[in-house]
Amino acid sequence: MAPAAFGYRRHPDQDRHDPARHPVVVVGAGPVGLSLSIDLAQRGQSVVLLDDADRIGEGSRAICFSKRSLEVWDRLGVADRMLDKGVIWQVGKIFLRDAMVYRFDLLPESGHKMPAFINLQQYYAEAFLLDRVQQLPAIDLRWRNKVTGLAQHNDHAVLTIATPDGEYRLAADYVVACDGARSALRGLVGAEFEGEVFEDQFLIADVKMQAEFPTERWFWFDPPFHSGQSALLHRQPDNVWRIDLQIGADADAAVERQPENVRPRIERMLGHGDFSFEWISVYKFQCRRMQRLLHSRVIFAGDSAHQVSPFGARGANSGLEDGENLAWKLDLVLRGKAGAALLSSYDVERGQAADDNIRASTRSTDFIAPHSAQERRLRGAVLQLAKEADFAKRMVNAGRLSVPSVYDSPLSTPDAEAWAGGPKPGASMIDAPLARTDGAACYLSDAFVAAGRGFTLLHAANGAALPDGVGEIRIGRDAPLRDNAGHFAQRYDASPGAAYLLRPDGYVAARFKQPTPAALDAALARARGQA
Amino acid sequence: MTLSTTSNFADPDAAYRLIVEAHRGLSDEQSAALDAALVLTLANHIGDLGVLREAVELAKRGVVGEG
């Protein structure tokens, strides 16, 4: 796909002597900044979105988008296009040399609106998000606006912005830095970026070809075509295939990325030369994060705040989760309905998620690129044992793929009763198939959107009185939604009267077997950061 | 009792990681010595000669192949 270019346009804010004041400025129109801006706009906020470039479409970059990300995008009205274009998959296979040692299925049960994963070039995701942005007049997107300065004040921040017409300043109640791994704002707040840099290098080639491989994630340790190293093959739309070859710490990246040097490697893998290159890159991976995601009036989300290796698809997906976690909180704060405690829960929750993602990604990367002869032997033993021992299959680690984070959160009300199943407070809601009274099929995730994407009481009929301003999903024989197949009851351990209080990001704030109004009010206040 | 080869850890990655980290910073010779000590300690914990024999056979098949 050719890069799509967008024009710079001078904005009246640039002619002002004193900086114009906006409630929120989002910096960076990548997947995270675009999604966050859409979310804020759908909640009624006006957003200024800045980007230092004027184009998208350079390289496939992120390609694996998780079920959770698709659920977020569904709420933002863009999931259908992603699904139509994307390649749906859920099975992964791991090979040692030429023999399969392990197969995993990321979504073995049915009754979910969204699949486990889609593969989609990042430029498609960005293009679909941009189309959605164009439908929302509340988003003021300014290309070739590069943040070069920051001044923090008690109740706002002032950005200095370089444009083709020179510099101007903008004031904002809050600035959200979605400006990627090389974040300028991270430098401007003077934050450290702490963690581990891995020495091993990986060659990523996206090749276009006609191929009959199944739509699965295939990973090799020590394959015959790339001895002693690892390899990954994964399908994208448009007959493009992601190939990722480990090339070691000593490889010369400038030499390795030359197409004439990449070609023989790919020919050895495929057994033919009938392909063309879409994108070639040589990577070293880093697993690191900022200590704090909140720096006074500047809030960090996505790669600007944390980075992981790609084995696990935890980069873009965790960034999208950051955005969803932040959007509703920032909205309530900007409306004066919540205070600093709610925003600090973003730092707590998404900080935990960053730690989880870094832990999982570090383990995978260390397994794929062992640090020492001993680690190589240990891994060899696991792979060898995995041929006949189940326990060793479970230790084979070619990437643990992104699942929604579970928060140990100050916003959660701990269970007071014993539950046999269902998502705990701090966990993300689980989808389930339902039916409307006219018999039409729908999903719980649709009902959540229909209920308004605010705080929502999900309850099995006989339910409780609804606190003010809380949406409702009522399920039962005499309710607007039916659980004919029993999946909701099973997935939520929902006996008659049971109720889940869902946050605007679909996370469980509290749950009760028989809620009382007082208990619901208390849980709601706590989930708004007021307790 | 027979050797259990089903996965017994709730978080197998954490168990693998614990062993990896135990070896970090050791020389190759020290690593071999650590492994030997670990094997003997865990064998004693199991305390069943039949199970130990099965484990030895399983491990050895992977190293020297099937006779």
Q: Does A345 touch chain B (CB under 8 A)?
A: no
B4, B8, B28 ranked by CB distance to A374: nearest: B28
Residue A20: CB partners within 8 Å, gap ≥ 6? A13, A170, A171
Q: Which of A245, A244, A243, A248 is nearest to A201 (CA)?
A: A248
ipTM of this predicted structure: 0.94
**Tokens, residue B5:** 């080869």
CATH class of A433-527: alpha beta
Q: Which of A462, A488, A469, A346 is nearest to A411 (CA)?
A: A346
Strand A91-96 with A217-221, pairing: parallel
Q: Are A297 and A147 in contact (CB under 8 A)?
A: no
Relative orientation angle of helices A316-334 and A67-75, to the nearest 10 degrees: 40
Residue A501: CB partners within 8 Å, gap ≥ 6? A413, A455, A456, A457, A458, A470, A508, A509, A510, A511, A520, A523, A524, A527
Shortest CA distance from A383: residue in chain B: B62
Is B9's CB within 8 Å of A394's CB?
A: yes
Angle made by CA atoms A179, A23, A182, in degrees to the nearest 5: 10
Model confidence band, residue A4 (pLDDT cutoffs 50, 70, 90)? low
- For every residue of A409-454, DSSP letters joined together read -TTPPPPSS--SSSPPTTSB----EEEETTS-EEEHHHHHHHTTSS
A374, A388, A390 ranked by CB distance to B23: nearest: A374
In CATH, what number does A4-86+119-193+290-363 get? 3.50.50.60
Could you tell me if residue B17 is inside a domain? no
Q: Does A403 touch chain B (CB under 8 A)?
A: no
Shortest CA distance from A398: residue in chain B: B13
Residue A205: CB partners within 8 Å, gap ≥ 6? A242, A243, A244, A245, A262, A266, A277, A279, A280
Is A400's CB within 8 Å of B28's CB?
A: no
Q: Does A244 touch chain B (CB under 8 A)?
A: no
Could you tell me if residue B59 is inside a domain? yes
Q: What is the pLDDT of residue B1?
A: 78
Q: What is the pLDDT of residue A463?
A: 63
What are B's interface residues with A at a Cβ cutoff of 8 A? 4-9, 12-13, 15-17, 19-20, 23-24, 26, 28, 31-32, 58-59, 61-63
What domain count does chain B have?
1
B12, B24, B62 ranked by CB distance to A384: nearest: B62
Q: Which domain holds residue B34?
A: 27-67
Q: Which residues of B fall within a CB distance of 8 Å from A371?
A: 24
| Residue A14 per-residue DSSP state | G
Q: Does A382 touch chain B (CB under 8 A)?
A: yes
Is B5's CB within 8 Å of A363's CB?
A: no
Find the range with the poorest average confidence among A48-52, A194-198, A362-366, A393-397. A194-198
Judged by DSSP in three states, B6 sits in: coil
Is A385's CB within 8 Å of B62's CB?
A: yes
pLDDT at A5 > cutoff 80: no
Could you tell me if residue B21 is inside a domain? no
pLDDT at A497 > cutoff 80: yes
φ, ψ for residue A47 (rounded to 5)?
-125, 130
Could you tell me if residue B37 is inside a domain? yes
Is B13's CB within 8 Å of A397's CB?
A: yes
Helical H segments across B1-67, by residue range = 12-23, 28-46, 49-64
pLDDT tens profile A156-195? 999 999 999 999 999 999 999 999 999 999 999 999 888 8
φ, ψ for residue B9 (rounded to 5)?
-90, 140
Q: Which residues of B fall within a CB distance of 8 Å from A381?
A: 59, 62
Q: pLDDT tens, position by position, for chain B (67 residues)?
A: 799 999 999 999 999 999 999 999 999 999 999 999 999 999 999 999 999 999 999 999 988 875 4
Model confidence band, residue A285 (pLDDT cutoffs 50, 70, 90)? confident
φ, ψ for residue B31 (rounded to 5)?
-60, -45
Is B23's CB within 8 Å of A390's CB?
A: no
Find the range with the poorest average confidence among A48-57, A218-227, A377-386. A48-57
Could you tell me if residue B2 is inside a domain? no
Report domain extents, chain A.
Answer: 4-86+119-193+290-363, 433-527
Is B13's CB within 8 Å of A360's CB?
A: yes
